[in-house]
Amino acid sequence: MSEAFHGAEYCWMNGSVVKTEEALVSAMEPIYLGIFEGIKAYVEGDVLGSGKLNFIGWRPHIDRLWRSAAVNGLKITYTKQEMQEATRETIKANGFDTNVYIQPRIWPKAGKGRYLATEFHVVIPTWKFDTLLGRGNPRFGDERRYMVSSWRRISSDALPPQAKSWANYANSGLATREAARLGYDGAIFLDSRGFVSEGTGACIMTVRNGKVVTPPVTASILESVTRGYFIEFIPRDLGIPLEVRDITRVELYASDEAFLCGTGGEVTPITSVDDNRLGDEYPGPITTRIAEHYSEILAGNVEERREWLTPV
């Protein structure tokens, strides 16, 4: 089985590092009631290189894991510090010295009362990944045709997107498969009010007349760690104005640039939405500036943003 699907050779499970192929549970487990996080560690100095690794946004990611657990009635029986040590141990066991994706997962153990479970699995798989960032990375400029999904983003008053539950991703699956069936590279959700929400696994930012605009948390989005960092650094470090407000579908069509942002998506430029090509230049100049600066932050080269990094 490929590593992309199966994870790295070792993962951490319920207290110790184990071979991933031996990290097995019963098919009767209520895995679908689980939650997770997606965290990355990048190479110091140059995101396309190898060497010493730093977590980006460890603290806000792990805090969100605890919030997702609380919302879903799950209890994490380790401390936040123990989770960090466990992740370190797993990365070490795999011998990684290039960029790593880490996905802590918590779910109820099989037993009576699946919604009221008192025992839980804690597993930390890891993967290597290819970054879209880094100077001259040819993949950054790939064309990406997006469509507005006919599926709406799950509502905060039904299945809250602010908690990172696996169940939320059934919604993302519907939109992704629709986009693939119609020949698009990806989908953007509207919320239940009809305003632009987010992508299937990342937040969205648009650029119009030199200003970055991104939907608010009340537009049924995940409270993205990356989005939070971007809201902070885009105006302060780059001097580019940024506004958090609702965006209409037609405003999205009229954008000069748009990109997805998230731990997985990093900065993913969007070429067109519903076949409306955005702006004159692709990838757009502001998207490119943001991506270059973010990649410097991830590599630890921006002194005042080093507090977002934690050595592995």
Helical spans, DSSP H, in 182-305: 225-238, 249-253, 285-298
Positions in the binding site for ligand PMP (CB under 6 A): 38, 198, 201-203, 222, 224-227, 262-264
Q: How far is the CB of 222 from ligand PMP (least distance, A)?
A: 4
Q: Which of 78/166 has CB closer to ligand PMP? A: 166
Residues 221 and 266: their CA atoms lie apart, in Å, by: 16
Q: Which of 10/37 has CB closer to ligand PMP? A: 37
Q: How far is the CB of 227 from ligand PMP (least distance, A)?
A: 6
- Edge to edge, the sheet with strand 145-148 lists 196-199, 186-190, 145-148, 272-273, 276-277
| One-letter amino acid for residue 46 of the chain | D
| One-letter amino acid for residue 303 of the chain | E
Q: How far is the CB of 34 from ligand PMP (least distance, A)?
A: 14
Q: Which of 86/203 has CB closer to ligand PMP? A: 203
Q: How far is the CB of 158 from ligand PMP (least distance, A)?
A: 15
Strands (E) located in 168-289: 186-190, 196-199, 203-208, 211-214, 242-244, 257-262, 266-269, 272-273, 276-277
Rounded to 5 degrees, φ, ψ at 238 are: -110, -10
Q: Which of 117/165 has CB closer to ligand PMP? A: 165
Residue 229's CB: how many other CB atoms inside 10 A?
18
How are beta strands 186-190 and 145-148 bridged, if at all? parallel
Q: Which of 38/285 has CB closer to ligand PMP? A: 38
